[in-house]
Amino acid sequence: MKKTLLAFTALLALSGCDQVSQKLGLEDPTKKEARLEPEAKAVGSACRQSGRAIEDCYSIYGWLPKAGIYAGWREMDEYMRENKLETVAPQLPPPEPPGVKKKAKKQTPAEDSPAGNAKAESPAEAKGDSEKKTDKH
């Protein structure tokens, strides 16, 4: 009974090692590439269908294996040629790669003007400005 329990515990611990290693970023490179291969093929196909150059696809999706992207791109290219399909223009910008922080939103010219900044002032600041104006008179 104790041997069975010990064997079961060891099996359970070893099966969790892969998941823990993956979470920590210690995943085996060959396993990681095999896991990402289907996604890379799908991305390559989508890039070709949207008329994106293969080099652009490589740079946008740099975290995916290039071989998978190329295989998907090539398969979609053959399919589109055989069926005389046109490219479909993408409607959205490409996604940010994982781990990239989103950029701060740029201010519009209206926000850069003094009138745009007046909205951001608190009531106390606005009151202080009116008092300064009255002191001059």
Given a contact cutoff of 8 angstroms between Cβ atoms, the answer to whether 38 and 72 are in contact is no
pLDDT confidence tier of residue 106, bands split at 50, 70 and 90: low
Report if residue 119 sits inside a domain: no
Report if residue 115 sits inside a domain: no
Cα 119 to Cα 112: distance, rounded to the nearest angstrom: 12
Q: What is the mean pLDDT of the chain?
A: 75
**DSSP state at residue 12:** H
Cα 132 to Cα 120: distance, rounded to the nearest angstrom: 19
- H or E element, residue 77: helix 66-82
Considering its fold, how many domains does the chain have in total?
1
**3-class secondary structure, 106:** coil
pLDDT confidence tier of residue 69, bands split at 50, 70 and 90: very high
Instruction: Provide the residue range defining the domain that includes 65.
Output: 17-89
**Res. 47: pLDDT tops 70:** yes
Report if residue 76 sits inside a domain: yes
Report if residue 124 sits inside a domain: no
Cα 90 to Cα 47: distance, rounded to the nearest angstrom: 9
Report if residue 23 sits inside a domain: yes
Cα 137 to Cα 126: distance, rounded to the nearest angstrom: 18
Question: The whole model's pTM is what?
Answer: 0.51
Given a contact cutoff of 8 angstroms between Cβ atoms, the answer to whether 13 and 44 are in contact is no
Q: Residue 22: its pLDDT value, please? A: 65
Q: Residue 120: its pLDDT value, please? A: 47
Average pLDDT over residues 63-81: 95
Q: What percent of the chain has pLDDT over 90?
A: 35
Report if residue 132 sits inside a domain: no
Cα 135 to Cα 13: distance, rounded to the nearest angstrom: 77
Average pLDDT over residues 50-74: 93
pLDDT confidence tier of residue 82, bands split at 50, 70 and 90: very high
Centroid of chain to Cα 40: 14
- pLDDT tens, position by position, 17-39: 666 766 777 778 888 888 899 99
Largest CA distance in the chain: 96
Report if residue 135 sits inside a domain: no
Report if residue 24 sits inside a domain: yes
Residue from 85, 97, 23 nearest 58 by CA: 97
